[in-house]
Chain A
Amino acid sequence: MTESTAPRRILAGPFNRVEGDLEIRLDIEGDAVRAAYVNSPLFRGFERILEGKDPRDALTIVPRICGICSVSQSVAAARALGAAAGISPPINGERVTSLLHAVENMADHLTHFYLFFMADFARQAYSGWAWHGEISRLFQAKTGVAVRQAVDARAQLLTIMGLLAGKWPHTLSIQPGGVTKAPDARDRVRCLAIMRAFRHWLEANLVGASLESFIALNSREALEAWSRGHIGLFLRISEDLDLGRLGPGAPRFMSYGAYEVAGTHLFKAGLNFDGMPGILDTRRIVEDLSHSWMLGETSHPFDGSTIPDEAMRDEAYSWCKAPRYDGRTVEVGAFARQLIDGHPLAPALLHDGCANVRARVVGRALELALSVVACEGWIKDIEVASDFISPAQIPDFAQVTGLCEAARGSLGHWLTIRDGRIAGYQIVAPTTWNFSPRDGQGVPGALEAALVGARVTDGEQTPLSVQHIVRSFDPCMVCTVH
């Protein structure tokens, strides 16, 4: 046991079953993590590539930041360009955009639960638990019964992308003025049928009951009594392993607001700092570069730049910048959205004011259910004979923001146009917030904070508790640094 009592340092990773590459340095003392340093080891330089280009070309370039959240990137770019042109899409364009965006986000939530997250409970280390056999049968990486079914359900759901967006990933039909595809009555019926089939799949597998009854859960007790479906199985594990206390992030949450139709968001925009709701003001956002291999001062994204530090100086340890709101770290994602939108279950899942592994996973399941109901509504409301796109004239000079909520949280594009060309383009992605390195004050990012105190057993190279916490955020590393 001498090994575990002396302070030691391990390099956990590379992580699989996360989107992109990730490495975490862990300082361990006794049987727990004392400090964590998160490194995003992949940099491509999209913000530099965008400079000097025709602003409209952002619509083709930014989706390619990420093969998983490409629609979110398209939506943020289209919003920024729409703001520059001073237009917003006709209501039916907004309905289709919201539908496309929600379908991608739902596909991501499904992938996270079935392909990335649950497989960890099928590990040998858990073989002593009563649920291990069932979990292995269902969730074993790649071969689990539920894994295979979820991959099929997901592919079926994404045919909506084919019908309304031509192609996914890297859809082109989302434009500043709306969408290029005007669906006809047949498309609408097919979309509704696909969404109904997806609802049935979720009801039969994920929640084991009607989506409405899951949405109606409003207290911790009611949730803990829920034993049906795969989510019931997760809740049982959650109780056995105390996942409701594992991985507390920052007690501050943010949402830019998701799915805007006719001036209203389905999940509203806002803040929740230490239990207090607040109003979002993006002017209070800065990116701190003190611990990232980037050159420049701490600045608002409109004044920011992306100049990699070729010397890779010693104080820094990640390509990721450190975004802060009012100088503070925040956590973003499905749970943050539900908390800010006021779903009664969300505050009941907090532990000491913080989100945790259980809260993040339940937040996604809740959002899946809510989104299906919303999508059915948008599809039914689509008026086939109306306009889906308005003309957009991009001016030669503009400074604008494009905001949206990706599956993993708040995504913002800050665009400056000068002489008809892109003069500045800064992107702050959800995982940039959650997986940020330390700032100038030495304050760790949300994940870095969440890992402190995680249990490490003897000889573990990539501790299981660390893996649960990391995957509970559903990181998208390719978006993080871009």
Chain B
Amino acid sequence: MAQLETFYDVMRRQGISRRSFLKFCSLTATALGLGPLYTARIAHAMETKPRTPVIWLHGLECTCCSESFIRSAHPLVKDVVLSMISLDYDDTLMAAAGHQAEAALEDTIEKYKGQYILAVEGNPPLNEDGMFCIIGGKPFVEQLKHAAQNAKAIISWGSCASHGCVQAARPNPTRAVPVHKVITDKPIIKVPGCPPIAEVMTGVITYMLTFDRLPELDRTGRPKMFYSQRIHDKCYRRPHFDAGQFVEHFDDEGARRGYCLYKMGCKGPTTYNACSTVQWNEGTSFPIKAGHGCIGCSEEGFWDKGSWYARLTDIHAFGVEANADKIGGTVAGAIGATVAVHAAISALKRAQTKSASKSVQKMDTH
């Protein structure tokens, strides 16, 4: 096993001052919701622990996760995290090309057997023996299995790797599957979202690199620190929901006044993510703030649950002045019903589409 330098050594080598290093430690503590005492603990860990190597692979994807990642709000955090992970293998940003790059991957796997974290963006398509995503002449699924074999843990970046995402939407032409369907013997941390928020990505990876352990996960494998609340819970338009004030059309007065988008199909009440707290693009905004409902991109199956623009009209009954308790109770029921109806429709549709596409060209083979 190769002797590795510490994170602190790496950062100093990359020209990051001690002062900036300490600032990074306190920013990290804050971002992860830890108290100020943790600043010293993080600093100590980074000064003494050998760094954790990271291999970043890309499967069937649109690269939106990388795009999101390199725009993390705090330049210092981004610099540090990039310098931590850039040492090993990432084919979108790295300098080497072609066979050199392939060799670099092999080297990293060999040198850090059992020590590295494997970060996966995108997912493997299984139809036609995986030939819809060919990397270095081989199906991506083989590269994934190969790299996963000696990984300590796996991060599934984004909805593709975590759940399948839109490329797995009916009829799922390539039979794209999430990482955990292929790799079953390693701990997997799912960081869903299309893409995930940059700060969520850096937060998760920093936590793992600093403390050398997995963050606490919910029962679906998502880190609790970022995915334990619904968009709806912290939405700034929530008062309008409670008051029964809704946008009915994108061009109406309610839209202009920033009313609730629930009737426009907003999935905020059923979506667990940090958009309404951490926000996007340097913390400036999130879709609801720009007048469009949440589409629930971090939830499993969001791509096959019927039209995103189907209007939800089942809560017309609310009086504008009704009290919050009454609405809260009724709404919980209404949402439950909506989900159930959606589920029923989806199941039916799925059966229909499946048989239809089979008769046409038997693409959906699962």
Residues of A within 8 A of B (CB): 11-17, 19-21, 23, 41-46, 48-49, 52-54, 56-57, 59-61, 64-68, 70, 115, 119, 122, 140-143, 148, 151-152, 154-156, 158-159, 161-173, 175, 177-182, 307-308, 310, 312, 319, 387, 389-391, 461-462, 467, 478
Contact = CB atoms under 8 A, between A and B. Distances in A.
Given A173-B287, A478-B63, A46 B71 contact: no
A56 B309 contact: yes
B62 interface: yes
Contact of A21 (B96, B134, B282): B134
A11 B133 contact: no
B19 interface: no
A14 to B, nearest CB: 5
Please name the 4 residue pairs, one residue from A and one from B, whose CB atoms are nearest each other, closest first.
A67-B64, A45-B173, A162-B281, A166-B290
Contacts of B135: 14, 21, 41
A231 B172 CA distance: 45
Interface string B155-182: 0000000000111011111101000000
A164 to B, nearest CB: 7
Contacts of B68: 67, 169
Given A67-B62, A169-B64, A54 B93 contact: no
Given A163-B285, A462-B97, A49 B71 contact: no
A180 B255 contact: yes
A439 to B, nearest CB: 23
A230 to B, nearest CB: 18
B200 interface: no
Contacts of A161: 281
Given A45-B173, A64-B64, A172-B292, 6 more contacts: A11-B137, A21-B133, A164-B290, A166-B291, A182-B256, A308-B132
Q: Which of the four size classes fits the interface of chain B?
A: 35 or more
Given A41-B133, A180-B292, A181-B291, A15 B97 contact: yes
A38 B48 CA distance: 48
A154 B69 CA distance: 13
Interface string B102-119: 100000000000000000
Contact of A66 (B62, B100, B284, B292): B62
B70 interface: yes
Given A16-B101, A61-B169, A142-B95, A167 B256 contact: no
B211 interface: no
B290 A173 contact: yes
A478 B165 CA distance: 15
B62 A478 contact: yes
B360 to A, nearest CB: 8
B1 to A, nearest CB: 26
Given A163-B285, A170-B194, A173-B291, A67 B95 contact: no
A266 to B, nearest CB: 24
B338 to A, nearest CB: 17
A46 B251 contact: no
Contacts of A17: 92-94, 97
Contacts of B73: 155
A65 B62 contact: yes
A177 B251 contact: yes
A447 B54 CA distance: 34
B237 to A, nearest CB: 12
Contact of B290 (A11, A67, A181): A181
A167 B280 contact: yes
B144 interface: no
Contacts of B250: 175, 177, 180, 389, 391
Contacts of B280: 162, 166-168
B46 interface: no
22 contacts: A13-B98, A43-B133, A48-B363, A53-B307, A56-B308, A56-B309, A60-B166, A60-B295, A64-B64, A142-B93, A143-B14, A151-B78, A155-B282, A163-B281, A165-B290, A167-B275, A169-B67, A171-B290, A173-B290, A181-B289, A312-B128, A478-B62
B274 interface: no
A68 B14 CA distance: 28
A78 to B, nearest CB: 12
Contact of A391 (B60, B251, B287, B310): B251
A169 B195 contact: yes
Contact of B291 (A16, A66, A122, A182): A182
Nearest to A69: B62
Nearest to B357: A48
A369 to B, nearest CB: 23
Interface in B284-301: 284-292, 295, 297
Nearest to B99: A461
Specify which of A41, A64, A115 lies most central, judged by the most chain B CB atoms within 10 Å of its CB.
A64
